[in-house]
Amino acid sequence: MSTEDLERLRKQQIALARALTQPSTSSPIQEPSLSHLDLEEVARSAETLIRKRLSQTRSALRGTSMLLRDEFAKEFREFASTHFFSGPDAIWRDAIEFSRWLARRRKEPAWLSDLLRWEHERCCWESQRLYFSLFRLRYRVAEWIDGRSDNSRDAPPVLSNQWIFIWRFGHRGGIRAIPRRNVAKPTAQA
């Protein structure tokens, strides 16, 4: 087993990740590291992933899903063929972006737009809540105070370029925002 074998495995994993998550733009046939696989299996796995995303998005947008029924799945499949989100909030990003995408396509009836707007807001709130998780804060507070870690992924996206957020575990608790320029530059993690 050589370094080339490891590099080959790494490239194969990246190609497979692309083929599974972006099947409309990344075909396994054209990818040398995947062309020897059973392409039916790859396609079936990509389909499983879409179904999983559909089921999660149905749960996040329950009202819209109940109203549109089969249409919801049809629309989501079209959306999913060109959109994929990575990371811990991928489920919410799917729901947020799909509700926005659907609202642009379906202007009628008016109550559907209202429902989509409401569900969109609720998903945005759930997504933002991820950034204030207590478990994450436990480890990161000390790092932020020392300026050892960049917390931009923990802060709300809109504000993270400007501010660092500190949760204070004092007897009164509370969140404090301090300007990023006042914090020492983050260094690479070991």
| Chain residues that interact with another protein, rule: CB under 8 A | 1, 5-6, 8-10, 12-14, 16-18, 20-21, 36-38, 41-42, 44-45, 48-49, 52-53, 84, 86-88, 90, 129-130, 133-139, 153, 167, 169, 171-174, 189
Question: Dihedrals φ, ψ of 96, to 5°?
Answer: -65, -50
d(CA 109, CA 112): 6
d(CA 100, CA 105): 9
- The minimum distance between CB 81 and another protein, in angstroms, equals 16
- The minimum distance between CB 100 and another protein, in angstroms, equals 20
d(CA 18, CA 16): 5
> Strands, DSSP E only, in 37-160?
none
- The minimum distance between CB 4 and another protein, in angstroms, equals 9
Its sign, for the CA torsion 100, 101, 102, 103, is: positive
- The minimum distance between CB 121 and another protein, in angstroms, equals 18
Q: Looking at residue 31, what DSSP letter applies?
A: -
Give 140-143's long-range contacts (Cβ < 8 A, gap of 24+).
Answer: 141/166, 141/167, 141/169
Q: Which is nearer to another protein, 115 or 127 (CB)?
A: 127
- The minimum distance between CB 56 and another protein, in angstroms, equals 9
